[in-house]
Structure 1
Amino acid sequence: MLSIGQITVPHSTSPHLIFKQSININIINKPSLMMPPNSSDAPAFEEDLSNILVCPECNISPPHLVEEFSSGDTVCEDCGMVVGSRIIDTRSEWRTFANDDQGGDDPSRVGGPQDEFVEGQQLATTVAFSDSKAHKALSRTQNNTNENKQQKGLMMAYKEIVSLCEAINMGQNVSNAAKHIFKLVDKHKFLKGKPQEAVIAGCIFIACRQNNVPRTFREIYNLTSVSKKDVGRVFKQLQSFLQKLQEQDGEATGLNTVTNYENTSVGAEDLCGRYVSQLGFVKQNKIAKISRELAEQANDISALAGRSPLSVAAACIYMACQIVGESRSSLPIAKQAGVSDGTVKTAYKHLYAARDTIVKKEWFEGGASMEKLAQATAA
């Protein structure tokens, strides 16, 4: 039998040794090739970060290298040499390549955000509309395939709500609350057959109350082409509808809507600050503060009970501007409040009659006094 280190040579009957038995061959085991010992104290594997990529032309350390993901190259800032190529962009992909032919930015990643006012999963595909006849036909076909008449009606109503809220400078919280109320009305098939403008006006008015935004009923219904009577009737029906939902179903969201609704009317003190800012007084803050306090005191005047808060607010502003020495005619104040000049003067007479109890002496500025206040009334 043959042993290790022996070989059989052809045409020979005796074995020959290749190596002498006294020579030992040792293989050096490198630590990098060895398996880690089975011990809990062994260090964990760590990547060797000592390798530094340096530009061979500049040979500057640290190197000034820039990764150009658009071309997939690593370029030296100093000499412009391409040090590496075909690098992989590990950043998030935000493009959808939907507008490649237009050459504009395409930052979209996964479509639009979820709209809480729209039912369904909102995963439909939209085809971009362009001047090409083929694109127009494809877009029209796609829209007809995915068309949902109920959702289309909701979106048109939401657009109208946003437009009306922006017309009288109301914030997004009011428009969102109005959208939510309109969605509840549409979901429960309430007020079917009523003019949509009247329903939208009622939703906006209730949303203003929910978010403590002082807007009068006249300001709301003037936005629409519907009569005041129709809007008022729809508003009362919406009130009872929302209160019924709150008591029976408890249906609400986090939009400060049904569960936080309180049937509170707008007072004269809520309107003074906005009217003063729109009239452009020089001492705007002072007049707004005094007129607001006068309006609060006017709640105790029996002669003003039952009067419109618009006329009371205008009369308080008229008195406040005289107190601080910035007198102004009652006519522009009445126009801003949306009432007649005679109505403001009538309310002002009742305020003047109670001047000793509602006017504080420390309010007077610029040589103004209670006597001059009386002269302004006579004029």
Structure 2
Amino acid sequence: MPTCPTHPNAHLIEDPRAGDVICPECGLVVGDRLVDVGTEWRSFSNENSGNDPSRVGAPENPLLSNGDLSTHIAVGYGASDSDQSLANAQRKTMNNADRQMNAAIGVIRDMSDRIHLPRNIQDIAAKIFKDILDTKALKGKNNEAQAAACLYIACRKEGVPRTFKEICAVSRVSKKEIGRCFKMIIRVMETSLEQITSSDFMSRFCGNLGLPMPIQVCATRIAKMAVEMDLVAGRSPISIAAAAIYMAAQASSEKRTAKEIGDIAGAAEVTVKQTYKLLLPKASELFPPDFKFVTPVDRLPLNDP
């Protein structure tokens, strides 16, 4: 970082128009030719090609080898032969890793938008993809499956896990292929993820079902106690969460069917019922002491009404 030789403690000012760094005390230019890595807006109103004369350049992207500051030649309707030739030449010379990275970023962004994931999770997923791309360990594997697996890992890392079924639903690859890439990435990157618990899904599942907070608190307690009492050995956290929600809802005025809950949780109706039946014998011990029952424990249904 440059400093003023006369005023070394002065807080320097950047002049983005001139690209200079100036000392506010004496006006000395202590640095020049700064590069603005932000978005560039330009207008080419005198050009005839294209409907929109405004162009915007992308900001610097550290995940690409050239920082994504290269020129991209787009060929529109009515383009000349020379324009087409330039675009073809660019595609041939473009770095293959950058092509994969660009495609993966687009896939991650598209999947994230469809399941409403924030930008920070998209960025983490893209960084994971970049790391695994650099190792070349998954060379030849489906690019979209790798991107989907990276998004699944990013969600787990940020404490907002999504199920494989949810990720699969917004991708064009199979759950099996995503799972295979996930296992390979975990092994290659030598990383560990926090264990998923049923409480990780409670807020989202209950919110999507329109259940109030007391039901969510009750279902969380039921699932936690069921695991501690070893009532649901071998069952997935998603199945446990769905069964706990079903039990809490049946004991309240906010009844929901096993099918409704299964559709939201991504679990089969029969799986929800089977897990619920494992909880039923100890139901009186699973509920919070202050829970306000509408349907008493001894009247909870054995089957979906």
Query: Is the structural similarity TM-score above 0.5?
Result: yes
Specify which of 219, 222, 225 is matched with residue 294 of structure 1.
222
**Which residue among 268, 287, 291 is the counterpart of 2:198?**
268
Alignment of 1:197-212 (within 5 A): 197-212=144-159
SS in 1 for 2:264: helix
Match of 1:241 among 188, 200, 218: 188
Aligned counterpart, 1:230: 177
How far, CA to CA, are the matches of 2:242 and 2:192 in structure 1?
26
**Inter-CA distance 370–126: structure 2 relative to 1 (3 Å threshold):** closer
Q: Which whole-Å deviations, capped at 9, do the CAs of 1:299-327 have from their partners, x for residues lacking one?
A: 11323011022221111111111333222
Quote the offset at 1:238 in angstroms: 0.7
The structural deviation recorded for 1:239 is 0.7
Matched, 1:312 2:225: no
In structure 2, what is the equivalent of residue 39 of structure 1? none
| Alignment partners' CA distance in 1, 2:41 and 2:272 | 61
Measure the CA separation in 2 of the matches of 1:235 and 1:137. Answer: 44
How do residues 131-150 of structure 1 correspond to structure 2 at under 5 angstroms? 131-134=77-80, 137-138=82-83, 140-141=85-86, 144-145=89-90, 147-150=93-96
Q: Distance in 2 between matches of 1:95 and 1:359?
A: 59
The whole-number CA distance in structure 1 between the counterparts of 2:233 and 2:288 is 22
1:182–1:203 CA contact under 8 A, matched in 2? yes
The sequence identity of aligned pairs, in percent, is 28
- Tell me the equivalent position of 1:72: none
Distance (whole Å) between structure 1 residues aligned to residue 89 and residue 173 of structure 2 = 33
Partner of 2:7 in structure 1?
none
**Inter-partner Cα distance in structure 2 for 1:294 and 1:145:** 59
| Distance of aligned partners of 1:233 and 1:125 in 2 relative to their CA distance in 1, 3 Å threshold | closer
> Does residue 154 of the first structure (1) align with residue 101 of the second (2)?
yes
Change (3 A) 1:142 1:329: closer
How far off its partner does 1:285 sit? 2.1
CA contact (8 A) 2:129 2:150 kept: yes
Change (3 A) 1:137 1:293: farther
Mark the runs of 5 or more structure 2 residues left unpaired by the alignment.
1-39
Instruction: Report what 1:348 is aligned to.
Output: 276
Q: Is the Cα–Cα contact under 8 Å of residues 117 and 180 in structure 1 kept in the other structure?
A: yes
For 1:25-44, list aligned pairs within 5 A: none
- Measure how far apart 1:127 and its partner are: 5.2
Bigger CA radius of gyration: 1
Amino acid at match of 1:217: F
Is the CA contact 2:196–2:237 (under 8 Å) kept in the aligned structure 1?
yes
Taking only aligned residues, the RMSD between alpha carbons, in angstroms, comes to: 2.8
Counterpart of 2:228 in 1: which secondary structure?
Answer: coil
Shift of 1:275: 1.3
Alignment gaps of 5+ in structure 1: 1-93, 244-260
Query: Deviation of residue 180 (structure 1)?
Result: 0.9
Q: What residue in structure 1 maps to residue 264 of structure 2?
A: 336
- Which residue matches 2:301? 376
The separation in 2 between residues aligned to 1:140 and 1:278, in whole angstroms, is 52
Give the number of equivalent residue pairs.
261
2:124–2:154 Cα contact (<8 Å) kept: yes
Higher RCO, 1 or 2 (CA under 8 Å, sep at least 6)?
Answer: 2
How far the C-alpha of 1:235 sits from its partner, in A, is 1.6
Instruction: Name 1:255's counterpart in structure 2.
Output: none
Distance 1:219 1:121, change over 3 A: closer
Does structure 1 residue 322 correspond to structure 2 residue 267?
Answer: no
For the 8 Å contact 1:325–1:364, the answer to whether it is kept is no
Q: Which amino acid aligns with 1:369?
A: P
> How far, CA to CA, are the matches of 1:207 and 1:195 in structure 2?
19
Q: Is the 8 A contact 1:173 1:211 kept in 2?
A: no
1:120 paired residue number:
66
8 Å contact from structure 1 (residues 214, 270) kept in 2: yes
- Aligned to 1:96, what secondary structure does the other structure show? strand
